[in-house]
Structure 1
Amino acid sequence: MIKAILSSAEKILKLIPQRPPFVLVDKIYLHSEKEILSGFTVPEKHVLVNENGELSESGIIEHFAQTIALHQGYNFFKKNEAAPVGYIGSIRNIDIFALPKIGQEIRTKITILNQILGVTMVSGEVLLNDKTIATGEMRTIVAKEN
Structure 2
Amino acid sequence: MEIKEENIINIHNFLPHREPMLMADYILELTPENVITSFEIKKDNIFVHNNEFVEAGLIENLAQTCSSILGQSFFENPDADTKVIGFITNIKKIEVFALPKVGDKIISKASLVSQFENICQISCETFVGDQLLIKGEINLFIQEVKS
Pairwise CA distance, 1:3: 1.4
Aligned 8 A contact 1:122 1:139 in 2: yes
Q: Distance in 2 between matches of 1:105 and 1:36?
A: 16
Amino acid at match of 1:29: L
Q: Number of paired residues?
A: 142
- Superposition deviation, residue 83 in structure 1: 5.2
Once the two structures are superposed, residues 19-49 of structure 1 have per-residue CA deviations (whole angstroms, 9 ceiling, x without a partner) of: 2111100011111111001110101101111
Structure 1: which 5+ residue stretches go unaligned? none
Shift of 1:68: 1.5
Task: Return the letter of the residue paired with 1:17.
Answer: P
Preserved contact between residue 2 and residue 29 of structure 1 (Cα < 8 Å): no
Equivalent residue, structure 2, for 1:27: 26
Q: Which has the higher strand share?
A: 2
Return 5+ residue gaps in structure 2 as ranges.
Answer: none
Displacement of 1:123 in angstroms is 0.5
Question: Counterparts in 2 of 1:36-115, with a 5 A limit?
Answer: 36-50=35-49, 52-78=50-76, 82=82, 84-115=84-115
Structure 1 residues 83 and 114: CA distance shift in structure 2, 3 A? farther
Indicate if the aligned counterparts of 2:83 and 2:144 stay in contact, CA closer than 8 A: no
Deviations 1:27-75 (A, max 9, x none): 111111110011101011011111x211110000000001012233334
Partner of 2:142: 142
Aligned-residue Cα RMSD (Å) equals 1.9
TM-score, length-scaled by structure 2: 0.86
Q: Distance in 1 between matches of 2:145 and 2:21?
A: 24
8 A contact 1:53–1:101 mirrored in 2 = yes
Is the 1:123–1:136 contact (alpha carbons within 8 Å) kept by the matching residues of 2? yes
Q: TM-score, normalised by structure 1?
A: 0.87
> Does the residue aligned with 2:53 lie in a helix, a strand or coil?
coil
